[in-house]
Structures are given as structure tokens and as C-alpha cells.
Amino acid sequence: MSSENKEKMQKEKQKISSKKVNKEVEEYKKKAEDNLICWQRTQADFLNYKKDQEKYLGEFRKYANEDIILSLLPTIDSFVLATNYLPDDLKDSDWVKGILCIKGQFDGFLKEVGVEEIKSMGEKFDPNLFESVGEEESDEEEGTVVVEIQKGYKMAEKVIRPAKVKIAKGKEEKVEN
């Protein structure tokens, strides 16, 4: 083989080798870009997951005590009933003052954990806040709450127990025959 042919073959091999290397470099560049895009997507997904978890935990913390509070509400209702029907001759008793102090502590606890009473008396009936247990004749506008049977409570804008109420109905006019 002549030296010219050898040189040609050498150059040809270099061209092929160079093309092969360039092709491999392009393939690796593409893989690197794909991996970078995948990593960026994964990072964005993780950040979104992290935000979602923080939001979920915030909501969880907000309502974590709900079951405990719902368990306490009947006891608090009993205190309310007891104080509503307290005889006048017992109001100055130290024992009664102690009971009222305990009721005050319950009220303070509810406020501390973000529970608030739902105002019902004189309000227009709202099925999201109230549970109607009947109607009562009244001079109030029809559909207005006129009797509160049981207090309702909200916790962080969520109704945890609707107020049980009676609403006003229009007076029936007697028809004479």
C-alpha cells in the first residue's frame, strides 16, 4: 500500500472517528439536557409537595383539637344551663361563684383554641350556621331566629356544631265563619 493511500485511510479513519465522537458527544449532551430537565421538574414537584404539606399541616393544626372540643361541648352546655337557671338567693354563694369561675375557664379555653360561639338570636336563619328544630309565632320577621335551644360553635371559620334554634313564623290569622 502506498503512503498516499495510508494517509487517505488514516484521514478517513479520523473523519469516521471524529464523526463518531461528535455523535457520541451530541448523544451525551442530549442525555445531560434530559437529565437536567427531569431534575428541574422533580425539584419543582418537590417544592410543590412541600408547599402542599405545609398547607395540610397548617389545616391539621387548626382543627386537631376539634374532636376534644366537641367532647367538651356537652359539659359546657350543662354549665350554661346551670347558670341560666341559677336561683337569685344562691347567686352570692361562694360555691356558685366557684362554679361560675370554672365556666369562665372553659370559655377562656375555647377562645384560646380559636373556638367562638355562633351568634344566633335575631339573626336571619342560615342553614350553614343553624339547625332549625321548630318554628314559633313571633312579631319578628319570618325566618328570624327567636329561640336558641343549643349554642353553636365555629372553629377557624368552620362550623363544628350548628346552633339549634327555633325560627319565627308569621302569625296565623283566625278566619271566622
Residue 142, in any domain of the structure: yes
Residue 117 confidence (pLDDT) above 90: yes
Q: How many residues make up the chain in this entry?
A: 177
In terms of domains, do 55 and 91 share one? Answer: no
Task: Look at 82 and 128; give whichever has higher pLDDT.
Answer: 128
Q: Which helix (H) or strand (E) element contains residue 165? A: strand 163-169
Residue 175, in any domain of the structure: no
In terms of domains, do 25 and 56 share one? Answer: yes
Average pLDDT, the chain: 87
What b/e sequence results for 119-145 when a residue is b if at least 16 CB atoms lie within 10 Å of its CB, and e otherwise?
A: ebeebebeeebbebeeeeebeeeeebb
Residue 138, in any domain of the structure: yes
Residue 3, in any domain of the structure: no
Of the candidates 68, 78, 72, 73, which has an alpha carbon nearest to the alpha carbon of residue 99? 78
Residue 80, in any domain of the structure: yes
Q: Mind listing the pLDDT tens digit for each residue in 44-92?
A: 999 999 999 999 988 887 778 888 899 999 999 998 888 888 888 888 8
| CATH assignment of the domain containing 139 | 2.30.22.10
In terms of domains, do 139 and 154 share one? Answer: yes
The Cα 60–Cα 25 span in angstroms is: 51
Q: Which domain holds residue 59?
A: 8-64
pLDDT band at 175 (very low <50, low <70, confident <90, very high): low
Count other C-beta atoms under 10 Å from residue 117's C-beta. Answer: 15
93: DSSP letter: -
In terms of domains, do 99 and 126 share one? Answer: no
- Is residue 106 within 8 A of residue 72, CB to CB? The reply is yes
Q: Mind listing the pLDDT tens digit for each residue in 10-36?
A: 777 777 777 778 888 899 999 999 999
Cell 427531569 belongs to residue: 38
- If one counts the domains in the chain, the total is 3
The Cα 101–Cα 167 span in angstroms is: 32
- In this prediction, residue 169 carries a pLDDT of 85
Residue 177, in any domain of the structure: no
Residue 176, in any domain of the structure: no
In terms of domains, do 19 and 51 share one? Answer: yes
In terms of domains, do 98 and 121 share one? Answer: no
In terms of domains, do 12 and 60 share one? Answer: yes
